[in-house]
Structure 1
Amino acid sequence: MNHRRENPVAGSYVLALLAGALTCTAVQAAEESAAVDTFIPYATFGAYYDANLLRQPEAAKQSGAALSDRWTRAAIGLRMDKELGRQRLTADLSAYHAEYDRFSQFNNDGKDLLANWKWVIGNQFSGNVGTSYSEGLTPFDDYRSFERSIRTQRKNYVDGSWRFHPSWQLNAAYNRFDLRYDTQAQNPSERNLDMADIGIDYLAKSGNKIGLVARHIEGRYPYADINSYDQNELKAKVDWQLTGKTYLQFLGGWARREYAANPQRDSSVPSARLTAYWKATGKTAFSLGVWRELGATDDLAANYARNQGVSVGSTWDATSKISVDGLIMTEKRDYNGVAVMQGIAPSDRDDRYRNAMLGVTYKPTLHWRVRASVYRTTLDSNIAAASYKTNGVQINTRYEF
């Protein structure tokens, strides 16, 4: 079964890799400002198990098909954090190799890069310029196939703020996101997203912030132009410290998506996300997320997916070396709209996605970290072939030189 679903919150990553990352030595140079410039090579190794690697429906499990697998992943990388006066340069680049026990066709090499320049000019202008690149195996949640698929994501961005008044700030941003797959020459799921923002913030003396942001998105599918769209959003945003222990973030308003190739698919819906953080004690913290958002879809029987969800997370610093964290998330996805192509019935697909995770991190030394976690994921859909259940275990370690 071959199934793709666009994640509306896309991750991103681009550029080249240094071949001999681990041959570098850690360099630390104290400057007059007392800032420390740091170059840190590191190595990671992980062992993983998933009971339903390819996210197959229960019918496949009952037929006796082999669904589980174990695999390992080893990586080397280099992390940088350098200050040049008031400017700050950060980067993290790595390369890895993964091997699977049963489904060896998924063995793969990957690489990742994150780089950012946090710039400041005078006392009024500041912002970021950066890039990211990621090349690796397509997540099985997005691509359920016995064929290996390598996904490449690229993102370049620039943003800036002008504090023209002690209480007011203008903001602007642009980023370009590109998604590619190697499974076929003209993959209809490949896309380019160009996003431009402009907004204004009111900065309270307390440090809290409220504002307004307008966004324009151009989504282009080079090999499936019928899915190309333009989207306009107008949203209010709030960053507010309610108490010394409670912090709120809100972004919400209206989003309208228009399809030039098929205006019947146009949609206009409210869209919002609220996140709350609570530092209950010196060692315990909680987070709550609630959202209702317009998601894109590659489904030719639907014009969009309306996603509504809730997540609850927590962390507990049991000792100075041991911490425990957990997350529970549920999301309802309604694939509403009209059919894209003649002969395809309009979609009435309705999914309920659930994920629960519990992890423990142990730091034996300042440079060494070991983490173990377990998870359970389910997708219940009124389309039987889309439903699945799985459990998994992950154990990984990281050492910084």
Structure 2
Amino acid sequence: MTYQRKKSGSGPYAHFAVMPVVMIAGALTCAPASAIDGDTFTPYVTYGVYYDANLLRLPEPAAQSDRWTRAAVGIRMDKELGRQRITADLSANQSNYDNFGQYDNDGKDLLANWKWALGNQFSGNVGTSYSDDLTPFDDYKGLERSMRIQQKNYVDGSWRFHPSWQLNAAYNRFDLRYDTQAQNPSERKLDMTDIGIDYLAKSGNKIGLVARHIEGDYPYADINSYEQNELKGKVDWQLTGKTYLQFLGGWAKREYASNPQRDSSVPSARLTAYWKATGKTAFSLGVWRELGATDDLAANYARNQGVSLGSTWDATSKISVDGLILTEKRDYNGVAVIAGIAPSNRDDRYNNAVIGLTYKPTLHWRIRASVYRTTLDSNVASATYKTNGALLTTRYEF
């Protein structure tokens, strides 16, 4: 028997918006060490041991713990050809669970980007990303293994037609699919097109405007297919030598051809501040209010409001400590998707906290340990859960 909780992340790439703390910690762990000068290809290996007190994200007392290991091999590429730069990262991994052996899996990941430049006026990127990994248990709870395949192809470019002005354009294609069902209603294809203009101050700061059009296609649940138009202002501003601000905010309008009563038009914004308090200590603060995606047939969308606070401390040249606290409130809009289903009045409060330590014995080798706590409090009893976990990982680059 399978139970799948509907996603409520924000934006067109909703499943990336709010990662569980264990995934954030894992991403920090796998961050590459500084490339050695002259290196074009850098092979690496990683190994980690993980523990979670409530692997399937179930309400108490149904929680069950597990321990698992994950090993990976990969290779990074970083090559400059004149003003062009090509980077890539290809890896394969294997995970094995102690108790839930049915979730054992082999995964793979690819990142590739060509950062191009033509003269002094034109520049941009062409790239792709691909991942084939176990579906996070926050999104899927089932006794059978579910692998999630994600692929993103993109191209963007800028034309600096004046020392103080720049035109921008971008196109992204995102595909999400699963291997557990031949026709999974959560599978989607998103096409996103951006056009915009930036004012470039002599100080290096930037103010701009971006218009975005999104076409969301759900091949096996056409009732969820939509078109979305956004108009947002953006700011990248160095307030002081130690403080930097990023802002993106404006209006988003989503329309559903199959069910116009689901149409929505709401403001959304995200502000992020970075503060380099000392030479060894830094903080980041994020605040957002955004339109979240949902596949729930009893709700049109989720309005997500959240705050996050992160910090890093370089205790020594080899030891660093980091922490993250995140809280997000998700209010589900009470418009039913189809007749016969009562509108949702669901409200969630999602909390994450993690603290980790990274030790770098050599330039090529790093070790990381971290602990985390994740909770989801909801007025839907079956969605409520809490868990604690820990991980110990190592990475070596040749």
TM-score (norm 2): 0.93
2:229 pairs, out of 225, 229, 232, with 232
Letter in 1 for 2:6: R
Distance in 2 of aligned mates of 1:216 and 1:37: 40
Alignment of 1:169-248 (within 5 A): 169-248=166-245
2:116 pairs, out of 119, 129, 138, with 119
Letter in 2 for 1:41: P
Higher relative contact order, structure no. (Cα contacts within 8 Å, ≥ 6 residues apart): 2
2:146 pairs, out of 149, 152, 157, with 149
Distance in 2 of aligned mates of 1:5 and 1:169: 36
Distance in 2 of aligned mates of 1:338 and 1:263: 11
Q: Percent identity?
A: 82
Name the structure 1 match of 2:6.
4
Unaligned ranges ≥5, structure 2: 18-34
User: Once the 2 structures are TM-superposed, how far is the Cα of residue 337 of structure 1 from its aligned partner?
Assistant: 3.3
Classify the secondary structure of the residue corresponding to 2:40. strand
Do 1:127 and 1:159's aligned partners in 2 also have CA atoms closer than 8 Å? yes
Distance in 2 of aligned mates of 1:310 and 1:146: 34
User: Once the 2 structures are TM-superposed, how far is the Cα of residue 4 of structure 1 from its aligned partner?
Assistant: 3.3
Classify the secondary structure of the residue corresponding to 1:338. coil
User: Once the 2 structures are TM-superposed, how far is the Cα of residue 11 of structure 1 from its aligned partner?
Assistant: 4.4
Do 1:168 and 1:203's aligned partners in 2 also have CA atoms closer than 8 Å? yes
Letter in 2 for 1:2: Q
Classify the secondary structure of the residue corresponding to 1:36. coil
2:161 is aligned with 1:164: yes
Distance in 2 of aligned mates of 1:308 and 1:11: 16
Name the structure 2 match of 1:323.
320
Name the structure 2 match of 1:262.
259
Name the structure 2 match of 1:278.
275
Distance in 2 of aligned mates of 1:272 and 1:342: 32
Letter in 1 for 2:291: L
Structure 1's consecutive aligned runs of 4 or more residues displaced over 4 angstroms after TM superposition are none
Do 2:7 and 2:15's aligned partners in 1 also have CA atoms closer than 8 Å? no
Do 2:277 and 2:283's aligned partners in 1 also have CA atoms closer than 8 Å? yes
Greater CA drift, 203-212 or 340-349: 340-349
Letter in 1 for 2:47: F
Name the structure 2 match of 1:46.
48
User: Once the 2 structures are TM-superposed, how far is the Cα of residue 338 of structure 1 from its aligned partner?
Assistant: 1.1
TM-score (norm 1): 0.92
2:346 pairs, out of 349, 363, 367, with 349
User: Once the 2 structures are TM-superposed, how far is the Cα of residue 10 of structure 1 from its aligned partner?
Assistant: 4.1
Do 1:36 and 1:83's aligned partners in 2 also have CA atoms closer than 8 Å? no
Do 2:300 and 2:333's aligned partners in 1 also have CA atoms closer than 8 Å? yes
Distance in 2 of aligned mates of 1:290 and 1:161: 28
Q: After superposition, give the CA deviation of every residue in 1:340-359 in whole Å (9 maximum; x if it has no partner).
A: 12110001110000000000
Do 2:4 and 2:139's aligned partners in 1 also have CA atoms closer than 8 Å? no
1:290 pairs, out of 262, 283, 287, with 287
Unaligned ranges ≥5, structure 1: 13-27, 30-34, 62-66
Name the structure 1 match of 2:79.
82
Q: After superposition, give the CA deviation of every residue in 1:37-87 in whole Å (9 maximum; x if it has no partner).
A: 5100000000000000000012424xxxxx100000000000000001110
Distance in 1 of aligned mates of 2:264 and 2:65: 40
Distance in 2 of aligned mates of 1:146 and 1:3: 14
2:372 is aligned with 1:370: no
Return closer, same or farther for 1:57/1:184 CA change in 2, 3 Å cut-off: same
User: Once the 2 structures are TM-superposed, how far is the Cα of residue 390 of structure 1 from its aligned partner?
Assistant: 0.2
Distance in 1 of aligned mates of 2:120 and 2:309: 38
Classify the secondary structure of the residue corresponding to 2:261. helix
2:135 is aligned with 1:138: yes
Classify the secondary structure of the residue corresponding to 1:60. coil
Q: After superposition, give the CA deviation of every residue in 1:154-173 in whole Å (9 maximum; x if it has no partner).
A: 00000000000000000000
- Compute the RMSD of aligned alpha carbons: 1.3
Distance in 1 of aligned mates of 2:38 and 2:237: 31
Distance in 2 of aligned mates of 1:398 and 1:163: 41
